[in-house]
Amino acid sequence: MSHFEPPIHWSDHEDIAMKLYERFGDDFNEGKIYRVRFTDLLTWVLEIPNFEGTKAQSTEGHLEMIQSKWVYEWRDNQK
């Protein structure tokens, strides 16, 4: 039985952050996450398998929110 995952959109900042953490794990710590270039972040988000947003829909605000949620996700996993 396949596990259905609902599509992820630009406003799903937390879901995107979880996917980024799943992909990169502890390769990126808090400092590194905040230094990620938005061009790289955008590429990685668009590579998420069930992500349905487009590059054109991306905004700096979304990318900033994703970055901060990714930091929270990383911190949560450091316990």
- In order, the DSSP letters of the chain are -PPP---B-TT-HHHHHHHHHHHHGGGS-HHHHHH--HHHHHHHHHTSTTB---GGG--HHHHHHHHHHHHHHHHHTT-
Indicate whether 29 pLDDT > 70: yes
Indicate whether 65 pLDDT > 80: yes
Place 2 in a pLDDT band, splitting at 50, 70 and 90. Answer: low
Indicate whether 30 pLDDT > 70: yes
pTM score, whole prediction: 0.92
Indicate whether 58 pLDDT > 60: yes
Distances (CA, A) of 74 to 22, 67, 78: 10, 11, 7
The single-letter code of the amino acid at 47 is E
Write down the pLDDT at residue 5.
79
